[in-house]
């Protein structure tokens, strides 16, 4: 008989746990059709990703992400005036399959596309909308000051009107 494992991570409200994933747990030795395998793998991947989104909001998860942030694992801001500021992963939605992950620059407070094609294919819900802001609230000493300069578009030395 199958018994659930104890877990300190709150996964009670994950609506994504599908019947197909439980079939995988109960019948791990059974043979499935190709279509069933794809559905089970897709459900398992989504469940794992959403559990990851919850994990990185815990104290252990934030500490692990701090190391990645310090190693520039998520890339640097592409803006010139941000001077290579390390970025954080962020989702534009907490709903799976809505959008891919973006990188959030704490200096200019804007979202950018990741440079890596691999990172650009990861679901944004696997990091969620909360993570970068909670991270900077947890580690306030890492929040940089806003850029002292801002790019001003010009044509022949004249500033452009905001409506043009």
* Domain extents in the chain: 19-142
The pLDDT of residue 1 is 42
- Structure pTM? 0.79
Backbone angles phi, psi at 15, to 5 degrees: -75, -5
What residues have CB less than 8 Å from 126, skipping those under 6 apart? 49, 50, 52, 53, 91, 96, 101
The pLDDT of residue 11 is 53
The pLDDT of residue 148 is 80
The dihedral through the CA atoms of 63, 69, 131, 106 has a sign that is: positive
What residues have CB less than 8 Å from 95, skipping those under 6 apart? 125
The pLDDT of residue 3 is 47
The pLDDT of residue 78 is 96
The pLDDT of residue 100 is 97
The pLDDT of residue 40 is 75
Give residue for tokens 């190693």.
71
- The class level of CATH for 19-142 reads mainly beta
The pLDDT of residue 23 is 54
The segments of the chain whose pLDDT lies below 50 read: 1-7, 16, 20
Give residue for tokens 């190709």.
34
């Amino acid at each position: 008989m199958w018994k659930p494992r104890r877990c300190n991570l709150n996964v009670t409200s994950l609506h994504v746990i599908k019947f197909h994933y439980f079939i995988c747990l109960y019948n791990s030795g059974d043979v499935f059709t190709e279509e069933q395998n794809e559905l089970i793998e897709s459900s398992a991947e989504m469940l794992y990703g959403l559990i990851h989104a919850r994990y990185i909001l815990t104290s252990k998860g934030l500490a692990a992400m701090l190391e990645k942030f310090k190693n520039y694992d998520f890339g640097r801001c592409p803006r010139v005036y941000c001077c290579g500021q390390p970025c954080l992963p962020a989702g534009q939605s907490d709903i799976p399959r809505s959008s891919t992950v973006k990188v959030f620059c704490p200096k200019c407070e804007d979202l950018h596309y990741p440079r890596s094609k691999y990172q650009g294919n990861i679901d944004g819900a696997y990091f969620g909308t909360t993570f970068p802001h909670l991270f900077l609230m947890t580690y306030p000493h890492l929040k940089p000051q806003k850029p002292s300069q801002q790019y001003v578009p010009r044509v022949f030395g004249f500033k452009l009107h905001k409506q043009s």
